[in-house]
Amino acid sequence: MKNQTKIAVIMVAGGGGSRARGHTGDMAKQYYMLGGKPVLAHALDQFLKMDLIDLVLPVIGAGHKELYDSLQLASAKLLPAIIGGNTRQKSSMAGLVALKEHQPDYVLIHDAARPFVEREVVVRVCQALTKHQGAVPVLPVSDTIKRSSDGINIETTENRAHLWAAQTPQGFVFNDLVAAYEKAQDEDLLDFSDDAGLAQWAEMDVVMVAGHQQTFKITNARDFERAEFFLRGEGQMETRVGTGIDIHQFETGDNVRLGGVDFAHTAKLKGHSDADAALHVLTDAILGALAEGDIGTHFPPGDPKWKDASSEVFLSFAASRVKARGGRIINLDLTIVCEKPKIGPKASEVQHNIARICALSPLRVSVKATTSEKMGFIGRSEGLMTLSTATIEVPRGED
């Protein structure tokens, strides 16, 4: 539907996201990681990839420049981010002023907290602008709405047949919206909750178009869970499996450490670090699933820094790499093959310790043990072997 129409997007991303703090800590929700990249990056990417969009202007918070720069986004369509105001209305106005030199025909204003944007919605909004001054994507309200001034006593029950929930992007004829914002500013009216409300106040012709369920706004921790579920359900996440195998000799000693748990024995495992073959093999399996080498790649055995080091450091690092890639560990399966020491009595302790190191539920960690039926070097108690499988989930699109 391009037909030489110049369309710009203002991405309003200046909010602090106080209602999501329980999930994001002190970080503004638009910079919180979702499926391997920040919420804001998802929202910007949606528009940057659309052929009908010409320009995208991020409007960010005054204290967010370093966070925004860390996104390292690059596109010929992406304009340098500008600093917005302390309200949505002021941020939108700042964006409109910045776009004047580009003179788009239409402007779409979008909430950064809505990371999923369907192209079909953008098309419907822009098509409506060929006949109207503004267009808002909406969804019918499905719940019965009660009106109350004090949050306790019900005053009225609204007729939901006449109620619609507004979404973004809200689209407008650029010059008409600029005039409306300037008029509101001249009259010191600064409390409009969305752009369409201001446009209607200015008597612009604004219509509704069908929105989309996926264009929901992330407001609280439950919304983040919904967004993660959506990414997985849409095939945005893929499952990967890595395996590991490790063999260690016994040497003179009186203790064997496996899975961070000490087992009394007549020997100890030989190695550069603490020789915890259980944690080593799990580290290899996770790194293998990530295609990031093995334990020796990151912790060379010849480096004196790792002499007698706790292997918890290695496994914790591997688990952190999964998180850094926007993924999660689904399951860890460990098998220890030895004649002695007997693993069974402390298997649960090993399981819980591995879960602690990886910040997992113990139900996602399996610990098993077997013998070699007295055969080979294991049967002769010259050493032991560990095997593992790591199943993880990471964002798709790294081909």
Instruction: Give the pLDDT confidence of 165-209 residue by residue, as tens digits.
Output: 999 999 999 999 999 999 999 999 888 989 999 999 999 999 999
Measured CA to CA in angstroms, residue 222 lies from 22, 70, 275 at distances of 10, 26, 42
Q: Name the least confident of 32-41, 145-154, 224-233, 318-327.
A: 224-233
The encoded tokens of residue 340 equal 């002695």
The fold of 7-233 is Spore Coat Polysaccharide Biosynthesis Protein SpsA; Chain A (3.90.550)
Whole-number percent of the chain with pLDDT over 70: 94
Mean pLDDT value of segment 230-242:
78
Residue 92 in this model has a pLDDT that exceeds 90:
yes
Whole-number percent of the chain with pLDDT over 90: 66
Continuous H helices in 54-108: 65-69, 88-99
Question: Taking the mean position of all CA atoms in its chain, how far away is CA 226?
Answer: 11
> Cβ(353)–Cβ(359) under 8 Å?
no
Domain with CATH 3.90.550.10 in the chain: 7-233
Residue 101 in this model has a pLDDT that exceeds 80:
yes
> Cβ(260)–Cβ(350) under 8 Å?
yes
Question: Taking the mean position of all CA atoms in its chain, how far away is CA 141?
Answer: 28
Residue 333: CA atoms inside 13 Å, Cβ hemisphere, count?
A: 8
Mean pLDDT value of segment 211-218:
89
pLDDT given for residue 96 in this prediction: 97
Q: Name the least confident of 71-75, 91-95, 195-199, 343-347.
A: 71-75
pLDDT given for residue 24 in this prediction: 46
Q: For residue 366, list its beta bridge partners.
A: 333
Name the strand (E) or helix (H) holding 284.
helix 277-290
Domain with CATH 3.30.1330.50 in the chain: 238-395
Query: How does the average pLDDT of the chain come out, rounded?
Result: 90
- Is the C-alpha dihedral spanning 201, 204, 205, 206 positive or negative? negative
> Cβ(46)–Cβ(56) under 8 Å?
no
Instruction: Give the pLDDT confidence of 120-154 residue by residue, as tens digits.
Output: 999 999 999 999 999 999 999 888 888 888 889 99
Mean pLDDT value of segment 57-77:
92
Choose among 309, 315, 260: nearest CA to 284.
315
The encoded tokens of residue 80 equal 């340098």
Is the CATH number 3.30.1330.50 carried by domain 238-395?
yes
DSSP SS3 for 43: helix
> Cβ(343)–Cβ(311) under 8 Å?
no
By residue count, the chain amounts to 399
* Highest mean predicted confidence (pLDDT) among 119-128, 262-271, 296-305: 119-128
How does DSSP classify residue 50?
A: -
Phi, psi of 308 (to 5 degrees): 60, 20
pLDDT given for residue 323 in this prediction: 85
Mean pLDDT value of segment 42-56:
94
> Cβ(57)–Cβ(83) under 8 Å?
no
Instruction: Give the pLDDT confidence of 10-31 residue by residue, as tens digits.
Output: 999 987 654 444 444 467 889 9
DSSP SS3 for 346: helix
pLDDT given for residue 18 in this prediction: 46
> Cβ(269)–Cβ(277) under 8 Å?
yes
pLDDT given for residue 387 in this prediction: 98
